[in-house]
Structure 1
Amino acid sequence: MRATLRPESVADPITTPHRYREVRPGIDGFRLVSATLTVTLLPEPNRARYEYECHLETLGGVPARYWCYHLPADADELADLRAWDARGKLSARFLAAEAPGTRIEVRLRQPVRTGERYTFTFGYEAVIESVVAAEGRVRTVTYADWIIFNIPCALLHVHVDLPPGAAFVAAVPRCVVSAAGRVTWRVRALRPLEMVAMTVAYRAEARERRRLFWQLSRMWRGAGDGDRDER
């Protein structure tokens, strides 16, 4: 996603996640037993859909009533926020954060008390900053991102689904790639505010060129049919 912390030097894009982490509070008394983030890269290289499935456990004496997640993105770069659990829809909203960025607030269906676990999912669409290199009719797209939770997470799965028709090129760190084009990482024992970063490169044919080729093909076939009718 696009970071809203303004760059101060040419090296700032590298350090921005670390500065973002410094302005977020860590929280005691809760942990993620497991979490799964699925990033669906959309055909437009500057947009993606994010979906988090969270298995939350309360360890301390204060019950969990809300889930708050901070994003380093402006509100106008985010859309289509949804949240749900096994019983149906949950209330969720974007809020202005004290630090730069936007905060997601999900209201849990019931308080999660000490020793209890609760599973819920939330998702949204966001602007991302991909690097696109055109090579004739094909473009190589590099998507880089990072995730930070402010509570411990025992097990994190990250999936990145490539756009339809895209071909995987490379990823960092090492990952598993399925035949369907899903890139997967698994990370264990994350500490609060520990960053997980990933980069994926893929190739795809420009949509505009595919659409133009399809339209010209239809026109050519239609002209051919007309010629045959005249004969």
Structure 2
Amino acid sequence: MSKWVCKVCGYVHEGDSAPEKCPVCGVGPDKFEEKKEAKAEEADEEPSKWVCSVCGHVHEGEEPPAKCPVCSVGPEKFNKQSGEMTWAAEHVLGVAKGASEDIICDLRANFEAECTEVGMYLAMGRVAHREGFPEIGVYYEQAAMEEAEHAAKFAELLGEVLTDSTKKNLELRVAAENGATLGKVDLATRAKKANLDAIHDTVHEMARDEARHGKAFAGLLKRYFG
């Protein structure tokens, strides 16, 4: 069954031929035009996408542009995007798995060293602030964040202290923070009994921090994964 569109008012009639009279505006069959299915498909077809391999600019059209409007390269640098999108490069967790034992041992040692430096540099920064060298303290803080990034990369290479599942990582950290809270409370209690008030106060406050972290992770786990 064909569709006939009135060129005057837009009324659509379905049938083998145009109606004798448009029921909306009253014009005759000569004012109707058959709507071809092929045209409809052509209208719905999305234009081709061309991606610049230099800067990533996306051009829509049948052909790539003569010149990229962003980085000015020619059409030969454009790739037609078709099918499912793939990524030419990305980080993968645990790429060091299967490496020789000496490599693994050194990666673990570097991970632990970087983690140690984070805490050490932040503590050194606090010393610098107290001594009246705030700019030195701020640089220690910046260096600590860079060491933390190094630690994160070693952790990714090893793939031992985390998984490639955000849900699983949250589950693991909820349990870990819960255990850390208990451990710090135990330490703080023993310090209190030994009249080490400064240690008790600091560690007890850390225990509260761990509990806050764990409850935040638990909330995120419930919100995103049920």
Instruction: Compute the TM-score of the two structures, normalised by the length of structure 1.
Output: 0.20
Higher relative contact order (CA 8 A, sep 6+): 1
Larger radius of gyration: 2
Q: Which structure features the higher share of strand residues?
A: 1
Scaled by the length of structure 2, the TM-score of the pair is 0.20
The structure in which a higher percent of residues are helix is 2
